[in-house]
Chain A
Amino acid sequence: MTQSGDVESGYHPWSTYIAAQEEARRRGDHRVGTDYLVLGLLSDPEMERVLGVTLDAARAALDALDHAALVYVGFTGTFDPPYLTQRPVPKRPKVKQLLSEHLKSTPAAKAALQEAGKPMRRGQHISAVDVLRALMENPPPDPAATLFAALKIDTASLRARLGTETAS
């Protein structure tokens, strides 16, 4: 899993996945969905710049979406149990650590990571932007698409912009 990657590029999708997993854990989720992969990307300040939003803003947007949904089904009280504690994200994760207690991904999250990771099978590096691109493929109600919409991120124009800016 770490074999050829990692050496020069410095980016490996596992780092996004682990950060995403801790975002999922924090909110009490069992699965890492596409929305958490977006949050995982946003743990990198460079990606905050690319997307034009902060990690905190994205977290708040997910909370607001949940709140609206709960109100919709008639759960209108103010009820805000504490978030779970996030575990530290290691700089160089050990495979054993990854496998022992990771949260599963949702099928859509898995598909996005597989799509973004395709060049790695040919021994090429990928960047966080490649993962972002894959996450912008799905329409709502995909959770990432819903989050982008809530954050007023125009994925069509962002995709166009990234197309020209990709070389990094």
Chain B
Amino acid sequence: MNDSDELDVVPEKDPALGLRAALALQRLAERVEADQVGVARAQGWSWQQIGDALGVTRQSAHLKYGKDHK
């Protein structure tokens, strides 16, 4: 099958792909966080509550997201 030809091209262990995946997961996590902070703000959460949920101070939560989510 054609598929097997393509599979041959990718070595079984490819750290370039694997390391990229680790960063890609971080990017996804960051996007989920930003999106959910927006949801929380829209529901009236305070920066204190958001900070508590994320395990950071109120100030850090606000510093990071205050500009994008009023």
- A-side residues, CB < 8 A to B, are 27-30, 65-70, 72-73, 75, 79, 81-85, 87, 101, 140-141, 146
A interface SS class: loop
Q: A28-B26, A84-B68 are in contact. Are A72 and B31 (CB under 8 A)?
A: no
Asked if A75 and B30 sit within 8 Å, CB to CB, the answer is no
Asked if B16 and A81 sit within 8 Å, CB to CB, the answer is no
Asked if A72 and B17 sit within 8 Å, CB to CB, the answer is yes
Q: Which of B18, B28, B29 is the one whose CB lies under 8 Å from A72?
A: B18
Q: Which residues of A contact B26 (CB under 8 A)?
A: 28-30
9 contacts between A and B (CB under 8 A): A27-B31, A28-B26, A28-B27, A29-B26, A30-B26, A73-B18, A84-B31, A84-B68, A146-B16
> For residues 6 through 32 of chain B, which have their beta carbon under 8 Å from a beta carbon of chain A?
10, 14, 16-32
Q: Which residues of A contact B31 (CB under 8 A)?
A: 27-28, 81-84
- B-side residues, CB < 8 A to A, are 10, 14, 16-32, 34-35, 67-68
Asked if B35 and A140 sit within 8 Å, CB to CB, the answer is no
Give the docked Cα–Cα distance between A123 and B18 (Å): 43
Q: How far is the CB of B59 from chain A (nearest CB, A)?
A: 14
Q: Which residues of B contact A66 (CB under 8 A)?
A: 20-21, 24, 27
Q: Which residues of A contact B27 (CB under 8 A)?
A: 27-29, 66
Asked if A69 and B21 sit within 8 Å, CB to CB, the answer is yes
Asked if B35 and A75 sit within 8 Å, CB to CB, the answer is no
Q: A28-B29, A140-B16 are in contact. Are A84 and B24 (CB under 8 A)?
A: no
